[in-house]
Amino acid sequence: MASFTRRVTWLIERVLMLLSCAIAVVVFLQVVFRYVLHQPLFWSEELPRYCLIWLSFLAAALAQKDDAHINITLGLSWMPGRGRHVVRIATNLITLGFLGILVYSGVRVVEITAHHRSTALQVPMGAIYAALPVGALLMGMYLLIQIIDGIRRLCAKDAA
């Protein structure tokens, strides 16, 4: 399982680099074509927007992997280790349930918008909206790993 998640993480990181470069290049070209050549590119606003949508959801998955999402630790700081682990596992399970709802809802949105096309690029909008279920699924994968790790730590503390 660790090998699989390393490969997925490696792939996400490469896609994020590609999306970041694409955004930078297209925005630069947009400025050059609009203000220097006075011939604006008709698609140069849509592509960075759609890249940013995908970048945001994929980056959220990597933030979940590193446990870097914002959280409130004040309530946990005074708890003993075992209680902290139990609360952390419980909140991760609740978050996993929410991500399940996002995946389900995102798939429904993709199905509804699959036949709609974007204005300039004529890309199926389902491909753009697919960022939601894909990102939520990846976040769920990383969160599930954290839950399993938390349960292992809890059991290890009980055994000791």
43-55 per-position pLDDT tens digit: 999 999 999 999 9
The total domain count for the chain is: 1
What is the sign, positive or negative, of the torsion defined by CA atoms of 115, 119, 121, 122? positive
How sure is the predictor about 63, in pLDDT bands with cuts at 50, 70 and 90?
A: very high
Tokens of 136: 């939520």
What's the whole-number mean pLDDT along residues 99-112?
A: 98
* CA distance linking residue 129 with residue 50, whole number of Å: 9
How sure is the predictor about 158, in pLDDT bands with cuts at 50, 70 and 90?
A: low
How sure is the predictor about 81, in pLDDT bands with cuts at 50, 70 and 90?
A: confident
Is the pLDDT at 69 greater than 60? The verdict is yes
What's the whole-number mean pLDDT along residues 103-125?
A: 96
Contact of 96 with 140, CB cutoff 8 Å: yes
Domain that holds residue 12: 2-159
pLDDT, residue 58, reads 98
What's the whole-number mean pLDDT along residues 13-37?
A: 97
What's the whole-number mean pLDDT along residues 83-94?
A: 92
* CA distance linking residue 31 with residue 44, whole number of Å: 9
40 three-class SS: coil
What's the whole-number mean pLDDT along residues 131-156?
A: 95
How sure is the predictor about 67, in pLDDT bands with cuts at 50, 70 and 90?
A: confident
- Mean pLDDT, the chain, as a whole number? 93
pLDDT, residue 159, reads 54
Is the pLDDT at 19 greater than 80? The verdict is yes
